[in-house]
Amino acid sequence: MRLVINLVLIALIGGLIWVLYSNIQEPIAFKAEREVREDAVIERLQSIRQAQEIHRSVTGGFAPDFDSLNYVLRNGEIMIVAVEGDPDDPTKSNIIYDTSFVAAMKQVEEFGLDLDSLRYVPFGEGVKFEMTADTLTYQQTLVNVVEVKTKRSNFMGPYKDARFARYDNTYNPTSFIKFGDLSTPSLAGNWER
C-alpha cells in the first residue's frame, strides 16, 4: 500500500512539474513565434509597397489588385528623363531633355521581388492580402491612395486565439497589420510608429 501511495505522489509531482513548465514556456513560445511571424508579414508588406511604388512610377497610380500589379510590373516601362544643362537658367538655353524607357521588371529584379508570392500572407496557408486602391481629394488635390492589409489571426496559427493577449496587452488577433490608408495619402505601415 505504501508503495502505491508513493507512486501516486511521484506521478502527481511529475504532473505538477509539467503544468508549471508549460505555464512558463507558453508565453515565451508565444512571444518568439509572434515576432517571427509578424516580421515575415512586415517584410512581405514592404515588398508589396515597393512593387506598388514601381507600379505608380509606370502608370501614375496604384494597382487595385495583384493581377493588375503583376501585369504592369511584368510588361510596363518606366520613363526616365535626363536633363543636361541648368534647368534653373531663366533663358532656358542649352537645356537638353533626353527621354528613355526602362523595363519595370528590371527594378523588380533589383529589389528581389517575387511577383508570384506577393499576394500570399506568410504562414497564412494560402490566405491573400486585402488590397484596395482609390483616389482621394486631399487638401484640394486629387491623390492616389492604397491600402494593403491582413488580420493577425490569418498568420498567427496556433496563437490566433484572443487568450494570448494576457501575455501581451497590445496583442489583438482581430486587428490588422497594414500599410497605406484610404483616408490619407500615406504609405506608412502601422508597425512604423
Question: Could you tell me the residue ranges of all domains in the chain?
Answer: 29-71+118-180
pLDDT at 144 over 60: yes
Report pTM. Answer: 0.81
Q: In what order do the strands lie in the sheet with 176-180?
A: 130-138, 141-151, 176-180
Q: 74-114: per-residue pLDDT in tens?
A: 999 988 888 887 777 777 777 787 888 889 999 999 999 99
Q: How many CA atoms lie within 13 A of 17 on its CB side?
A: 6
- The gap from C-alpha 10 to its chain's centroid, in whole angstroms, comes to 50
| 120 Cβ contact list (under 8 Å, min separation 6) | 44, 126, 127, 128, 129
- Write out the three cell numbers for 129: 492580402
